[in-house]
Amino acid sequence: MTVLVTGAAGFIGYHVSSRLIQMGIPVVGIDNMNHYYDPLLKHARIAQLNLIAKQAHTDFILVESDIIDEQVVHATFSKYKPSSVINLAAQAGVRHSINNPQDYIQSNIVGFCNILEACQAYSVDHILYASSSSVYGGNTNIPYSEKHGTDHPLNLYAATKKANELLAHTYSSLYGIPATGMRFFTVYGPWGRPDMALFLFTKAILNRLPIQVFNNGDMQRAFTYIDDVVDSILLLLDKPPTENLSFNTSLPDPSTSWAPHRILNIGNPYTVPLMEYINAIETALGIDAIKDYLPIQPGDAPKSAPDIHALEQLIGYKPNTPIKEGVGKFVTWYRQFYSV
């Protein structure tokens, strides 16, 4: 079995690829190594994957290209014939989407359509693809359930992730491609993205600079440790969805389908207030943060929390890493990686 991981040099893509390689599963990665954030971190992740592959005597091959290049995508599928695909390549970030909409249209929609076309052409057994908790948008019915509507996005990033779910369902319906959409909730941990709060806060606190605390600190998130996300993905990998033969077309349930397509929340069900999160960082660093309290940013939701009963029922697992433990592991990695 060979697994194709798009976005292999990204945060989640690196961790998923690492675990697969350690399990002895060959991995083909696609990544454009773009400059959305420091590419040195991406190159360091790839170097680490090559080292892990050498130690595990397992193949890791990186195709350095963009999934918006249709010819490269099809050539990669044709050459390596992956049995499964984990699509994690995307232009990430809510705030970046406000000023750079075309980045999201190209990568998240055009690129994802190329992946789906290749999955159809080369008869992939299962595609798992990254969606996001941001698709719940203006919904204030907490916790978010896969049965809830997702037709009121607050930003373009969320809209493109909703579009991914619609595209995947269409391909599942037309061609019978088993597809699982994964709505991730605020993933954090070692090798994380420099544009996310944990990275930004840690760097600022160590440099004795103020941190920006939006909505005056009145925010809550389902902070989900990276290992919990990887465990969930790997448990789902060999559980492709099947058609729901009892699907009621007169009362359609958004969480299921007559097609082999499903949507699942993947997140820690225990929400954490932002100020508690910041306190965990301060404790791990042994330094008090200088806080700059600001209004909520456009496109942000003040609270986000998942209902993960469907995930737990399917794979017998739920994310549960405590915030202090996860933040502590990130800070240890950060100090080592940056020699702080």
297 touches 213 (CB < 8 A):
no
Q: Is 188 a catalytic residue?
A: no
Write b or e for each residue in 164-203: b if 16 or more Cβ atoms lie within 10 A of its Cβ, otherwise e: bbebbbbbbbeeebbbbbbbbbbbbbbbbbeebbbbebbe
Catalytic residue among 157, 171, 277, 334: 157
222 token code pair: 């389902």
**What whole-number distance in Å separates Cα of residue 195 and Cα of residue 330?**
15
* CA distances, 189 to each of 135, 185, 223, 257 (Å): 22, 13, 10, 33
Phi and psi at 65, nearest 5°, equal: -160, 175
292 touches 210 (CB < 8 A):
yes
169 token code pair: 């369902």
The residues carrying an active-site annotation are 157
